[in-house]
Structure 1
């Protein structure tokens, strides 16, 4: 794996695992590491929120940040979008994807109030299908792209590493909060 895919812990509570840095090259080890992260996230996220009460779920992971509940629902929203974007890239030629206002999504009723179990179950099923699909790709398919309106073309292998980082990033928001609060 290239060192660019490694992230360093950060003292900035917004980026507990550091910021995402797109590597110059992506090898088979980096892809396998990303797939393993996606495979393990549902279980790790479920463990991270286990036994939290409503007051704890309503606690922001940092000042001005989302609550634990909103963070879990955000991960489900974000990863559903990622899965669809990747399927579009596999079935269309460089589709231009839609962005979404993730901060506004987090403020909707389901983002603020839905039971965590709904998103935890959704992530278990979604990640099972997502990883199954990604594990079936050949080298040529990993190079397929979708086009982000602001960031340009994103290959599926880069997308995988982005969501590897995204998974670890939000998991660390919750686990860091638990550690800081002694929960």
Structure 2
């Protein structure tokens, strides 16, 4: 177990509380030119949660396997993030994060060290992936908080 799994477990709840403070008219508003809108960001989180979990499962089941690298901007266009329903995507994210937590909570201490190979970053353990997931969550929670201004 990694001590900060509680933080990633709470991300969907924290994100929902932030979004509840934002008027729906602002969901498609771009606050910065090269960042997702709130709707796109939530769709991104829902979509990438499966990718993160799939990578960790691969490390667990076939250590040393190479993962596919995706371009998040291309994926956003291909998956039509901008047309998604934010509340639905938030529900999807919550459910997928629950799956991630179920997987992580079932790991032994030794299993946290199993790894996969990322073509750009090199070998990453499940522990490394969770660390990256936490950073990813914080980045997007900060982004969502900008809509509170």
Answer whether TM exceeds 0.5 for this pair. yes
Match of residue 178 from structure 1? 147
RMSD: 1.6
1:32 aligns with 2:10: no
Matched-pair contact (CA < 8 Å) for 1:41–1:167:
yes
Pairing partner for 2:13 from 28, 40, 43: 43
Asked whether the equivalents of residues 27 and 86 of structure 2 are also in contact (C-alpha less than 8 Å), the reply is no
Q: Structure 1 stretches of 5 or more lacking a match?
A: 1-27
What residue is the counterpart of 1:155 in the other structure? Answer: 125
Change (3 A) 1:90 1:58: same
> Structure 1 residues 47, 108: closer, same or farther in 2, change over 3 A?
farther
Bigger shift: 83-92 or 44-53?
44-53
TM-score (norm 1): 0.75
8 A contact 1:37–1:164 mirrored in 2: yes
* Deviant stretches of 4+, over 3 Å: 51-55
Map Cα deviations across residues 24-44 of structure 1 (whole Å, 9 max, x no partner): xxxx6xx221x1122111111
* Contact 2:40–2:84 (8 Å) recurs in 1: no
> Could you give the per-residue CA deviations for residues 107-157 of structure 1, whole angstroms, max 9, x where no partner exists?
246300110122211111111121121112112101000110111100111
Decide which of 77, 95, 108 is 1:138's aligned counterpart: 108
Cα deviations across residues 61-85 of structure 1 (Å, max 9, x unaligned)?
Answer: 4233211111111111221100111
Counting matched residue pairs gives: 149
- CA distance 1:51–1:116, change in 2 (3 Å): same
Task: Rate the CA distance shift 1:109–1:88 in 2: closer, same or farther, 3 A.
Answer: closer
Scaled by the length of structure 2, the TM-score of the pair is 0.91
SS of aligned partner of 1:147: strand
Shift of 1:48: 1.6
Structure 2 stretches of 5 or more lacking a match?
A: none
